[in-house]
């Protein structure tokens, strides 16, 4: 009788654990912009839920990149927050969102994307292998430099602007997002 009760209790815990795992997409989620990011969803489906990335989402839509970032990938996206966009010179975002500047907007956004799934550990390993710096070719075709400042990954753009990764390894079904605090810009 004890064995039957123990077996029933064990079965109940296994069932509860299975339901809990199933609800979060079979993997650990991270909170970004007040929303859980699910590894079972793609980059766009997660980003639209982040209150910290409404400007980025609007820019991705204006640039016509929704389908690309919803595709299989994999992609690594360095996702600037709303505050990062607000720190740009006055009028920059509004100008980039205009239809006549679509190509410039695409260049800026694709500069934040790497082809492939680069977790923080991969980027750090490349930095260490490069004696403190690693250069990555972005989807825009331009290079971005990664470096470490203590245990923080930093990105340096063509103009010398530096962004810090504030949330790393936000896993997606088609890659990974690393949240950054500054908009990085390609040479234009």
- Output the furthest CA–CA distance in the chain (Å, rounded): 76
Name the CATH superfamily, with its identifier, for domain 27-180.
FAS1 domain (2.30.180.10)
Q: Bridge partners of 156?
A: 145, 162
Q: What are phi and psi of 108, to 5 degrees?
A: -65, -45
Q: In angstroms, rounded to a whole number, what is the distance separating the alpha carbons of residues 154 and 151?
A: 10
Which parts of the chain register pLDDT below 50?
Answer: 1-26
Domains in the chain: boundaries: 27-180
pLDDT at position 42 is: 83
Which residues lie below 8 Å from residue 35, measured CB to CB, with a gap of 6+? 46, 49, 50, 51
pLDDT at position 185 is: 93
Number of Cα atoms under 13 Å in the Cβ half of residue 127: 22
pLDDT at position 27 is: 52
Does the pTM surpass 0.85? The reply is no
pLDDT at position 119 is: 97
């Amino acid at each position: 009788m004890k064995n039957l009760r123990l077996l029933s209790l064990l079965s109940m815990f296994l069932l509860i654990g299975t339901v809990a795992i199933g609800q979060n997409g079979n993997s650990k989620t991270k909170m970004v912009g007040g929303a859980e990011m699910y590894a079972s969803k793609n980059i766009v489906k997660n980003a639209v839920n982040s209150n910290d990335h409404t400007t980025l989402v609007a820019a991705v839509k204006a640039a016509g990149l929704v389908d690309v970032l919803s595709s299989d990938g994999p992609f690594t996206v360095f996702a600037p927050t709303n505050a990062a966009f607000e720190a740009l010179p006055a009028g920059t975002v509004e100008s980039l969102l205009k239809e006549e500047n679509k190509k410039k907007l695409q260049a800026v956004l694709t500069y934040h994307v790497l082809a492939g799934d680069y977790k923080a550990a991969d980027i750090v390993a490349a930095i260490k292998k490069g004696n403190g710096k690693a250069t990555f070719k972005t989807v825009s075709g331009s290079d971005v430099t990664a470096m470490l400042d203590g245990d923080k990954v930093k990105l340096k753009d063509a103009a010398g602007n530096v962004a810090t990764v504030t949330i790393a390894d936000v896993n997606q079904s088609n890659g990974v997002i690393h949240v950054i605090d500054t908009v990085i810009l390609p040479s234009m």
